[in-house]
């Protein structure tokens, strides 16, 4: 007689992965549409970041089950380091923070995203789900980055009225905090598609659906006016394509063509104000004087951050203290290294930054080995977001953190699975 068990851990992990993967496109579709229809009845817009935060908060008790499947020495060392970091981060933030809401929002997002990363790591390592499934879900979801663009084009006058009523016109975008947040999402999706198409085997036919998705992502990126997104994309794709063992020049050429088409389409779309449109923003910069004006205030922001760091060089201010510190107009310093020092002081902040560098190097060394287009695509996503974090603030928002965690978990899960096969 065959025995049955009431609790199947692998089935539970598989179900949790499916729930997370389904949430990504649903969030990218529903949050902007819901925001479009209800924003006039609320004091602020509902974003994909807020939806992701609520989702992570609700699912953390279940997702945390994946921690019990970390059994190797290296995995237990990671678990110990994770526990030490979060205990310290929460403790010092609770002790030093002037206003706890934003810091706790940020730390909870990091914790939840880390747990999701562990979930995907364990599931890929044990063969519970496949990297191909993860890639195709994210690639399919990429088309939905266009939602805020479409909603603005449907009724530009209504958007202008709502934006003026709630906040400045640059401060909202249906489902997203602002056009830069749309830039984070569209750049990540474009990186995923571009890296896959340019590193897949030449014997595999290029799927035209991916090309259509690439055009949509590039159109949205150019329309959002995110210059940092273009820089992050160029840097990450150059690293991935230039150092990949498999190069598909036809795929790269088609990707570049899609980007040109997307840029051209964006030129003819309605731009709500001066903060939108890549070509419009570049034209504005050419007419400005001074590096701070050209950098959209980044230099002044970084100088303000350094001044606060020097006031507390050893302890820092706790995680994401910007809302309660004088001189900040943003929720981050738009530079993750400076923010690490601001949060935890020079010593601990430098250690955190070095661990981040070590994490990327480990992913890079593995990316160079397997000649796997799925690894290349996901590695390009995490590289794009890391480069982006040098001059913008995706690390302070839940949704980019979730994309980063899933991509990282899959890469290191494949790495662990291949290492086990070699033993």
Looking at residue 175, its pLDDT comes to: 92
pLDDT reported for residue 132: 97
Ramachandran category for residue 70: left, alpha or beta (phi over 0 → left; psi -120 to 50 → alpha): beta
Which segment of 40-54, 203-217, 283-297, 362-376 scores lowest on mean pLDDT?
Answer: 283-297
Do the Cβ atoms of 91 and 343 come closer than 8 Å? no
Q: Which candidate, 258, 32, 21, 26, places its Cα nearest to that of 132?
A: 21
C-alpha span between 182 and 49 (Å, rounded)? 11
* pLDDT greater than 60 at residue 292: no
* Token pair 């970390």: residue: 70
Q: Within 10 Å of residue 297's Cβ, how many Cβ atoms?
A: 14
Paired residues of 176 in beta bridges: 173
Residue 166 has pLDDT above 80, yes or no: no
CB contact at 8 A, 60 and 115: yes
The share of the chain scoring above pLDDT 90, in percent, equals 79
Task: Determine the average pLDDT of the residues in 87-96.
Answer: 96
- Is pLDDT above 50 for 169? no
Look at residue 295 and give its three-state secondary structure: coil
Q: Please tell me the predicted confidence (pLDDT) of residue 1.
A: 43
- DSSP string of 109-142, one letter each residue: HHHHHHHHHHHHHHHHHTTSS-HHHHHHHHHHHG
The tens digit of pLDDT for each residue in 183-201 reads 999 999 999 999 999 999 9
173: which DSSP letter? B
* The residue to which tokens 């959002």 are assigned: 224
State the average pLDDT for the chain.
92
Sign of CA dihedral 267, 270, 271, 273: positive
Which CA distances in Å does 21 have to 120, 206, 236, 252? 10, 24, 24, 27
């Amino acid at each position: 007689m065959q025995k049955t068990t009431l609790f199947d851990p692998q089935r539970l992990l598989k179900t949790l992965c499916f729930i997370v993967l389904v949430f990504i496109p649903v969030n990218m579709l529903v949050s902007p549409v819901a925001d479009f229809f209800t924003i006039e009845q609320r004091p602020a817009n509902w974003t994909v970041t807020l939806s992701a935060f609520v989702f992570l908060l609700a699912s953390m008790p279940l997702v945390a089950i994946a921690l019990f499947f970390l059994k190797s020495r290296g995995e237990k060392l990671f678990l110990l380091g994770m526990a030490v970091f979060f205990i310290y981060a929460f403790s010092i933030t609770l002790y030093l923070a002037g206003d706890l809401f934003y810091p706790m929002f940020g730390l909870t997002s990091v914790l939840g995203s880390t747990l999701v990363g562990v979930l995907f790591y364990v599931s890929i390592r044990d063969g519970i789900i496949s990297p191909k499934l993860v890639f195709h879900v994210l690639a399919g979801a990429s088309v939905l980055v266009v939602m805020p663009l479409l909603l603005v084009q449907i009724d530009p006058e209504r958007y202008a009225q709502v934006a003026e009523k709630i906040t400045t016109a640059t401060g909202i975008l249906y489902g997203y905090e602002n056009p830069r947040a749309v830039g984070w999402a569209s750049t990540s999706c474009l990186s995923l598609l571009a890296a896959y198409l340019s590193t897949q085997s030449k014997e595999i036919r290029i799927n035209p659906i991916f090309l259509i998705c690439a055009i949509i992502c590039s159109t949205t990126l150019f329309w959002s006016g995110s210059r940092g997104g273009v820089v992050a994309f160029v840097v990450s794709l150059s690293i991935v394509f230039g150092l990949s063992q498999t190069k598909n020049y036809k795929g790269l050429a088609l990707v570049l063509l899609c980007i040109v088409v997307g840029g051209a389409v964006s030129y003819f779309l309605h731009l709500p104000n001066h903060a939108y449109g890549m070509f419009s923003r570049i034209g504005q910069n050419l007419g400005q004087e001074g590096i701070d004006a050209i950098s959209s205030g980044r230099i002044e922001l970084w100088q303000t951050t350094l001044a606060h760091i020097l006031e507390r060089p050893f302890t820092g201010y706790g995680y994401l203290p910007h809302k309660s510190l004088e001189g900040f107009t943003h929720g981050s310093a738009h530079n993750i290294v400076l923010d690490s020092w601001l949060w935890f002081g020079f010593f601990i902040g430098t250690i955190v930054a070095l661990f981040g560098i070590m994490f990327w190097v480990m992913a890079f060394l593995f990316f160079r080995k397997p000649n796997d287009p799925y690894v290349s695509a996901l590695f390009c996503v995490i590289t794009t977001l890391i480069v982006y974090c040098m001059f913008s603030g995706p690390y302070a928002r839940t949704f980019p953190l979730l994309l980063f965690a899933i991509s990282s978990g899959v890469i290191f899960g494949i790495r662990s699975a291949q290492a086990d096969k070699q033993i």
